């Protein structure tokens, strides 16, 4: 009798799996919302014609890679999911989170949100992650069933080919939800700027990958049952070495702890918050300084204990740098950057979706990246976590009725 029920369970599990759509969440890092208006993205244009296009995708503050990939996949603001920047410090435990330190970024303790692949797996849905910032947690129960450790130099088409291999596994092993990540437009945007011929070449290159992905899905016979969501974590803006704020000309940068630089800076003041704040306020030009508790509510950036005492946000295109005497990237090589006010259009990303779950030829206004997690839950008819910041009602209208 037990054997009989086990066979029935496996049978219905396979039937249910076959009725679920595939969904591939593709991140084009640093792909600004208006890059598709340059007439060099024919493959993304085809997705737009058959699916949904938002005028832009609003990132969360700060508009950096790791915080926003976590916001997309957890439905939470950085102050709630815990990855408040690409670099930050836990003063209590004297521990640093730096994206260059994979031994640290793989520790589960930093990630307070539940990624969609965790939610889906709890509901019995197999998932895969072919690269996604924050997907390499060492605690295996929090990872997707299929995953790869990040390899920056892994050829782009090989990533797609290996994903196709997952889709040809036995039904009960195939990931129904998967992620893909490509860094190209971010790298070229930083190095050459968002208005360069080099970034246009990068845009064309990643667009060809979307075409290759579609062709690959057709070859294995699942194109019609696959949702493709192409998005980006943030945008990009032009920089100039003439637009730099040097903190050492305003405060004692050796006495105070300066965390990060560029579009924003964090400062721990060693119990001299009022004194340092007043100095920065007096000299406030081309940046805005806030005490942690006074960061405007629209940034959603004041609640987490890792957020330092003072938060400085540079004006668009300006850079905040610790030291005026040392040579640094902002003085020599920087052509483009992100991390600024998430409401500014230059910091907005792309959102395009096409497939059996989405409306056809539908265009909408700006969507919020924290709403993508509940959207994915809706596609798979599963319950989202109760503590998310995302709201389904702001985005579910892009799905077919």
* Helix ranges, 59-122 (H): 65-74, 78-81, 102-105, 116-122
Cα–Cα distances (Å) from 246 to 64, 88, 243, 265, 323, in that order, read 21, 20, 10, 11, 6
DSSP SS3 for 39: coil
- Going by their DSSP bridges, the two strands 226-231 and 351-354 should be labelled as antiparallel
Taking the C-alpha atoms of residue 116 and residue 129, their distance in angstroms, rounded to an integer, is: 11
Taking the C-alpha atoms of residue 304 and residue 324, their distance in angstroms, rounded to an integer, is: 31
Q: What is the DSSP letter of 315?
A: P
3-class secondary structure per residue, 166-219: HHCCCHHHCCCEEEEEECHHHHHHHHHCCCCHHHHHHHHHHHHHHHHHHHHHHH
Q: How many CB atoms lie within 10 A of CB 87?
A: 17
Rounded to the nearest 10°, the torsion over CA 363, 364, 366, 368 is: -100
Max Cα–Cα distance, the chain, nearest Å: 80
- Going by their DSSP bridges, the two strands 367-368 and 244-246 should be labelled as unpaired
Q: Which residues are catalytic?
A: 65
């Amino acid at each position: 009798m037990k054997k009989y029920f086990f066979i029935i369970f496996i049978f219905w599990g396979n039937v249910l799996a076959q009725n679920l759509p595939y969904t591939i969440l593709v991140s084009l890092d640093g792909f600004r919302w208006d890059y598709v208006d340059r007439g060099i993205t024919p493959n993304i244009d085809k997705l737009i014609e058959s699916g949904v296009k938002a005028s832009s995708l609003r990132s969360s503050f700060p508009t950096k890679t790791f915080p926003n990939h976590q916001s997309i996949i957890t439905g939470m603001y950085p102050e709630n999911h815990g990855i408040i920047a690409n670099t930050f410090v836990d003063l209590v435990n004297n521990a640093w989170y730096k994206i260059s330190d994979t031994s640290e970024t793989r520790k589960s303790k930093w990630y307070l949100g539940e990624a969609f692949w965790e939610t889906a797996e709890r509901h019995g849905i197999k998932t895969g992650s072919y690269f996604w910032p924050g997907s390499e947690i060492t605690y295996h129960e929090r990872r997707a069933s299929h995953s790869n450790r990040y390899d920056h130099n892994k050829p782009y088409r090989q990533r797609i080919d290996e994903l196709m291999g997952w889709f040809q596994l036995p039904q009960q092993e195939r990931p129904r939800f998967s992620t893909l990540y490509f860094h190209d437009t971010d790298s070229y945007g930083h190095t050459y700027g968002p208005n360069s011929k080099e970034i246009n070449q990068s845009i064309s290159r990643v667009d060809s990958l979307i075409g290759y992905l579609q062709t690959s899905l057709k070859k294995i016979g699942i194109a019609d049952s696959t949702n493709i969501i192409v998005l980006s974590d943030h945008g990009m803006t032009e920089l100039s070495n003439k637009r730099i704020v040097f903190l050492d000309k305003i405060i004692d940068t050796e006495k105070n702890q300066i965390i990060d630089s560029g579009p924003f800076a964090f400062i721990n003041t060693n119990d001299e918050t009022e004194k340092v704040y007043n100095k920065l306020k007096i000299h406030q030009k081309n940046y805005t300084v806030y005490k942690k508790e006074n960061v405007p509510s629209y940034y959603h950036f004041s609640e987490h204990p890792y957020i330092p005492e003072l938060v400085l946000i540079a004006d668009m295109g300006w850079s905040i740098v610790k030291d005026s005497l040392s040579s640094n990237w902002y003085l020599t090589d920087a052509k483009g950057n992100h991390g600024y006010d998430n409401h500014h259009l230059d910091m907005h990303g792309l959102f395009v979706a096409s497939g059996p779950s989405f409306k056809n030829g539908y265009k909408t206004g700006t969507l919020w990246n924290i709403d993508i997690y509940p959207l994915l839950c809706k596609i798979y008819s599963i319950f989202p976590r109760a503590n998310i910041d995302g709201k389904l009602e702001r985005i579910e209208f892009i799905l077919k009725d």
